Amino acid sequence: MTKIFDFFERVAKLLFLLSVLLLAFWVIFGSIDVYQYAVVGAVYEILWFPFLLLFFTLPIINLVMYVKNKFSFKTIWLYALLINGLTVFYLYKSVGY
């Protein structure tokens, strides 16, 4: 039983880190001109699609795991979900709506 708990704890930390990286990616590349420098533009072009997939899948995974943990405030899933909500809000506001 403890092996399963350790596995879910590692997955929770990984998904929390991915949520933070997702927010950082969109904030950084949304606030600078990515095509001013060729290297930055190339990195952006390589990474935008995987981060777009993460943008749609991470909130769903985090919500499912948060519900599965019975809405506990002690789990990291809630905080990852809040960061995903902040990312959605940031992208919504950066588009101009």
Check residue 3 and give its pLDDT.
84
Look up the domain containing 56 and give its range. 2-91
In a domain, 96, yes or no: no
Whether residue 97 is contained in a domain is answered as no
| Number of domains observed in the structure of the chain | 1
> Does residue 38 fall inside a structural domain?
yes
The per-residue DSSP string of the chain comes to: -HHHHHHHHHHHHHHHHHHHHHHHHHHHHHHS-TTSSHHHHHHHHHHHHHHHHHHHHHHHHHHHHHHHTTT-TTSHHHHHHHHHHHHHHHHHHHHT-
- pLDDT tens-digit profile of 38-78? 999 999 999 999 999 999 999 999 999 999 989 888 889 99
| Residue 65 counted as domain residue | yes
80 in a domain, yes or no? yes
Global pTM reads: 0.89
Q: Is residue 51 included in any domain, yes or no? A: yes
